Amino acid sequence: MSKQKIADAPGTEVVTQQTADTNRTGTSALALPDDMQQLFNDNVGAGLEDFGGGDFALPFISLLQKGSPQVDEADGKYITNAKPGMAFNTVTSETFDCAILPNRPEPAGLSVVVAAMRRWMVEWRPNQGGYVGQHAVDSPAHKSAVPNPDKKSLLKLPNGNDLADTMYFYVILDLPEGPGWGVIAMKSTDLTEAKKWDTRIASQKFDAGNGILKAAPMFGQSYILFAKVKENDLGSWMGWQVKSNGLVKSNTLFAAAKDYRKAVDSGKARATAPPEEQADAPAAAGEDTPF
């Protein structure tokens, strides 16, 4: 099993999953030759007891924008061949082609399974001045907030900071090399798509036999994520688009998502600040554009 200690991943609370199953750690699952299989099975997780809950970063999956440093060849954070509309892993720096654009075939997108969803009111200093903290939806901070006169997608706190309604989707990335952990934070203009996604998850059924339909578990549902151009009179940006991909048909993927959910429910895996390195579309007062 390969794990990399990361100290400076933006916008994450560092965590580690305590399971010893190599296929459920959020890292790649590597194939073994037959003569090594038993040796690994006899030593599952050996040595990992040395790692604590503050050793690993929980990656965010965000959409690159026209102004993102990863697409600017003059920026030190530039990633070769990165383009606006690609999904970006903030820990591994992997990119995934998700952009639905005119005059080109639809990309494969990013296949995910949602393990858990959490909604927080996220406090920011004005003008992307930095992350402050999270507040529950029924918190005194949220109750004290008033509409933001400059951006209708945000609220304004008495201390002058902004408050952004944010939905965190804890997802398993369905990758060729094996399942991986990720978090997708949706706010502002993406919040509408997030609520639609939440509704799809809650309404998905499966055939339990004899024509009886039952509610499918959240971690038994597959989705494909794309990026779609959104625009207003002053500019354009890339926003998420979610498409259903039916039910999960892989035991490994189902188990990985269920384990991730347990980690989220227990508090071992918890996302904090969403990435700030996203360019905003030009915004006039009251425009509902990305934060």
Q: What is the pLDDT of residues 2-29, one digit of tens each?
A: 333 333 333 444 333 333 232 333 444 5
Range of the domain at 261: 37-266
pLDDT score recorded for residue 50: 59
pLDDT score recorded for residue 34: 84
Q: Which amino acid is present at 200?
A: R
| Residue 14 contacts residue 57 (beta carbons within 8 Å) | yes
pLDDT score recorded for residue 232: 79
Residue 95 within any structural domain of the chain: yes
Burial category of 37 from C-beta neighbours within 10 Å (exposed 0-12, middle 13-18, buried 19 and up) = exposed
Other CB atoms within a 10 A radius of the CB of residue 33 amount to: 6
- Could you give the number of structural domains in the chain? 1
Residue 244 within any structural domain of the chain: yes
Residue 239 within any structural domain of the chain: yes
Ranges of the chain with pLDDT below 70: 1-30, 45, 48-57, 276-291
Residues in the chain: 291
Residue 27 within any structural domain of the chain: no
Residue 160 within any structural domain of the chain: yes
Residue 280 within any structural domain of the chain: no
Residue 76 within any structural domain of the chain: yes
pTM here? 0.80
Residue 163 within any structural domain of the chain: yes
pLDDT score recorded for residue 4: 34
| Residue 115 contacts residue 264 (beta carbons within 8 Å) | yes
Residue written as token pair 């004899």: 210
